Amino acid sequence: MGNDTDDEKMARARQLGTTVGVAPSFRSAERAEKRREFNKKLEEKQQALEAERIESEMRTKEEEEAAIKELRKNLYVKANPVPSFYKEGPPPKFVPKKIPLTRAKSPKLTRGRSCDGAHGSPAEDKCSPSRRARRSITPNSVSNK
């Protein structure tokens, strides 16, 4: 009975109705290997994306530099011959005629007739309607009419 194989032991245990303990088989080594491969592929993918991004940045930078270089080349100011009017002398100065001054009139500082309407006839009242409407010049008056 000492040379029984595992299959025979399990068959006997089934007949007797007992269970035989079997050591668990772990696949952690396989899973660790698969994980390493996955991480390696993921890292390669990230490196490829990074390289593509750097290449794209370099390409855009070169394009910008080429555009700036072309713009500077086109904006370069080249010397032109001097126009003839710079070589001529300055134009003659315009001298305006002096107009004689007008004579100043002295203002009328005398007061004319009073416009109160106290005079007898309206024919004598020669005040304009705008002067007649003015009654007070004090700052506290509410209305001037």
Whole-model pTM? Answer: 0.34
Q: How confident is the model at residue 76 (pLDDT cuts 50, 70, 90)?
A: confident
Would you say residue 72 lies in a domain?
yes
Both tokens assigned to 132:
């007649």
Q: Give the rounded percent of residues in the chain with a pLDDT score beyond 90.
A: 30
Would you say residue 68 lies in a domain?
yes
Would you say residue 48 lies in a domain?
yes
Q: For 117, left (φ over 0), alpha (ψ -120 to 50), or beta? A: left
Residue 48 identity: A
Greater confidence (97 vs 112) lies with 97
Would you say residue 49 lies in a domain?
yes
What is the number of structural domains in the chain? 1
Would you say residue 52 lies in a domain?
yes
35-41 average pLDDT score: 97
Domain holding 69, by residue range, is: 29-78
